[in-house]
């Protein structure tokens, strides 16, 4: 098996579970959050810093790496792990979401998707088979199939068509997948139509992929609809395989995702807001660029034990950001990812000690109050 997933603890009162996901590059305790390294790097951080904070797996994007520097170049370096000097696990997204976000720059049919590069205007055509081969060349531990991600809001007919095409592409992707040791995950679509979600899941489960992702959420829909969709969809997935919720990274949504039975998550949120001077703390978001912190000598979060909070003050970090110093963005990025890693560790600890239900009841309203406005 290219990946091995073992459930080590169930929560008897919810659908939450704790597990171990083993790849050729290590073991990841789940539930876990994956930092996003779209272009072969988690913005502002080195791989050593990621390893230092305990990161086991990162996400990179086939679409972006295809456009630059080119998958062939990466393959000549021995694959993405060697190219970026990362010894942990890598999941590569197909780039389906990015392609379909191009709007007028792309055109799709059952064969694949034609699009114009957002970088230089060059023309390209990607099929499920080609995207699979590109990820084979990248050598990631987990490769995602090419799918069609409908926008929100979208009518039932449009979403139904996306479900149909996603199933066709998934079958072709599976047939084209040739790299031994690389897992392949399918992506359930269906928007916020629960019956279409169940239909999508049923068709993909029949194809027997190594794991299953829930895509097409956190694209603008209200959180209550996202949660309703999760609780309707996750039970349709094989219990013994990995459940992956794509593009979700706010602390309150991560906790709710775990409660619904999700094992792994990814999102650009923590690194993106960090570069804009917004940090996650035990008391909610801290807009560190505000003038109120210009002489504040306290750490970003007094409850945090990361190296940033141990060694630097709010005033100093604000000064760096206002002066456009790169170090400021590096420090806020490190802190935000450490915060989410700590959150996931706390969740796993609660699961391992059979107190997740109590943890959820205490933390869910608190996180909703602090972070409920952003998915």
141 and 202 belong to one structural domain: yes
Residue 342 and residue 328 in contact, taking contact as beta carbons nearer than 8 Å: no
Quote the tokens at residue 159: 């979403």
143 and 292 belong to one structural domain: no
Asked whether the predicted pLDDT for residue 100 surpasses 80, the reply is: no
**Of the candidates 267, 294, 316, which is a domain's last residue?**
267
Sorting pLDDT into bands at 50, 70 and 90, what band is 95?
Answer: confident
Q: At what angle do helices 156-176 and 128-138 cross, to 10 degrees?
A: 50
Has residue 228 been placed in a domain? yes
Backbone angles phi, psi at 10, to 5 degrees: -105, 150
What's the confidence (pLDDT) of residue 258? 98
Residue 125 and residue 112 in contact, taking contact as beta carbons nearer than 8 Å: yes
**Which of left, alpha, beta for 277 (phi over 0: left; psi -120 to 50: alpha)?**
left
327 and 225 belong to one structural domain: no
Mean pLDDT of the region 224-245: 97
**Tens of pLDDT along 217-231?**
999 999 999 999 999
Residue 191 and residue 125 in contact, taking contact as beta carbons nearer than 8 Å: no
Report the alpha-carbon distance of residue 159 to residue 153 in Å, rounded: 10
Residue 256 and residue 230 in contact, taking contact as beta carbons nearer than 8 Å: yes
How many other C-beta atoms can be found within 10 angstroms of the C-beta atom of residue 178?
9
DSSP per residue, 232-298: HHGGGS-TTSEEEETT---HHHHHHHHHHT--EEE-SHHHHHHHTTEEEETTEEEETTSGGGTT--S
Has residue 258 been placed in a domain? yes
Nearest of 156, 149, 225 to residue 189 by alpha carbon: 149
Has residue 160 been placed in a domain? yes
Has residue 375 been placed in a domain? no
Quote the tokens at residue 5: 């997933």
Query: Could you give the residue numbers annotated as active site?
Result: 93, 266
**Of the candidates 240, 267, 294, which is a domain's last residue?**
267
Nearest of 208, 72, 207 to residue 133 by alpha carbon: 72
What's the confidence (pLDDT) of residue 373? 67
Report the alpha-carbon distance of residue 96 to residue 86 in Å, rounded: 24
Residue 317 and residue 300 in contact, taking contact as beta carbons nearer than 8 Å: yes
In the chain, % of residues over pLDDT 70: 99
Nearest of 28, 34, 90 to residue 267 by alpha carbon: 34
What does pLDDT average to over the chain? 96
**Tens of pLDDT along 64-79?**
999 999 999 999 999 9
Tally the domains of the chain. Answer: 2
The secondary element (H helix, E strand) that includes residue 301 is none
201 and 284 belong to one structural domain: no
Report the alpha-carbon distance of residue 237 to residue 150 in Å, rounded: 21
Residue 79 and residue 138 in contact, taking contact as beta carbons nearer than 8 Å: yes
Report the alpha-carbon distance of residue 111 to residue 62 in Å, rounded: 19
Has residue 318 been placed in a domain? yes
Has residue 315 been placed in a domain? yes
Has residue 341 been placed in a domain? yes
**Tens of pLDDT along 20-69?**
999 999 999 999 999 999 999 999 999 999 999 999 999 999 999 999 99
* Domain boundaries, position 169: 4-267
241 and 262 belong to one structural domain: yes
261 and 281 belong to one structural domain: no
Of 127 and 98, the structure prediction assigns the larger pLDDT to: 127
Asked whether the predicted pLDDT for residue 116 surpasses 50, the reply is: yes
**Tens of pLDDT along 152-169?**
999 999 999 999 999 999
288 and 356 belong to one structural domain: yes
- As beta bridge partners, residue 28 has 21
Has residue 374 been placed in a domain? no
Report the alpha-carbon distance of residue 195 to residue 156 in Å, rounded: 11
Mean pLDDT of the region 105-113: 92
Residue 183 and residue 210 in contact, taking contact as beta carbons nearer than 8 Å: yes
Q: How many helices (H) and strands (E) in the chain?
A: 15, 16
- Say which CATH number the domain at 254 has: 3.20.20.105
Sorting pLDDT into bands at 50, 70 and 90, what band is 118?
Answer: confident
144 and 28 belong to one structural domain: yes
Prediction pTM value: 0.97
257 and 295 belong to one structural domain: no
The secondary element (H helix, E strand) that includes residue 75 is helix 71-76
**Of the candidates 204, 237, 267, which is a domain's last residue?**
267
What's the confidence (pLDDT) of residue 375? 45
202 and 281 belong to one structural domain: no
329 and 209 belong to one structural domain: no
358 and 248 belong to one structural domain: no
**Tokens 């034990």 found at:** 305
């Amino acid at each position: 098996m290219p990946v091995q997933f073992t459930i080590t603890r169930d929560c008897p009162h919810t659908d939450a579970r704790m597990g171990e996901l083993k790849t050729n590059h290590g073991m990841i305790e789940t539930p876990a959050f994956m930092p996003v390294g779209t272009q072969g790097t988690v913005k502002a951080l080195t791989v050593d810093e990621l390893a230092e904070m305990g990161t086991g797996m990162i996400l990179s994007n086939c679409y972006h790496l295809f456009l630059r520097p080119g998958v062939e170049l990466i393959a000549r370096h021995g694959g993405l792990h060697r190219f970026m000097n990362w010894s942990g696990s890598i999941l590569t997204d197909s780039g389906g979401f990015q392609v379909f976000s191009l709007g007028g720059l792309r055109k799709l049919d059952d064969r694949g998707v034609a699009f114009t590069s957002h970088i230089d205007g060059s023309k390209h055509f990607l099929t499920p088979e080609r995207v699979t081969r590109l990820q084979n060349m990248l050598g990631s531990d987990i490769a995602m199939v090419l799918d069609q991600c409908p926008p929100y809001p979208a009518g039932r007919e449009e979403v139904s068509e996306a479900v149909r095409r996603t199933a066709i592409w998934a079958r072709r992707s599976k047939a084209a997948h040739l790299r031994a040791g690389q897992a392949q995950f399918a992506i359930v679509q269906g928007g916020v139509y629960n019956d279409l979600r169940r239909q999508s899941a049923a068709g993909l489960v029949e194809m027997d992929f190594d794991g299953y992702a829930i895509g097409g959420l956190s694209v603008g829909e209200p959180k209550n609809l996202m949660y309703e969709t999760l609780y309707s969809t996750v039970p349709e997935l094989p219990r013994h395989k990995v459940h992956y919720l794509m593009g979700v990274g706010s602390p309150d949504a991560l906790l709710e995702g775990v409660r619904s039975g999700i094992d792994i998550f990814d999102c650009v949120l923590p690194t993106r807001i960090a570069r804009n001077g917004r940090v996650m703390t035990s008391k909610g978001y801290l807009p560190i660029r505000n003038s109120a912190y210009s002489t504040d000598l306290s750490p970003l979060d007094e409850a945090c034990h990361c190296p940033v909070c141990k060694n630097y003050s709010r005033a100093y970090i604000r000064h760096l950001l206002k002066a456009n110093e790169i170090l400021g963005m590096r420090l806020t990025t490190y802190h935000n990812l450490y915060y989410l890693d700590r959150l996931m560790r706390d969740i796993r600890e609660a699961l391992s000690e059979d107190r997740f239900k109590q943890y959820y009841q205490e933390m869910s309203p608190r996180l909703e109050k602090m972070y409920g406005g952003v998915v």
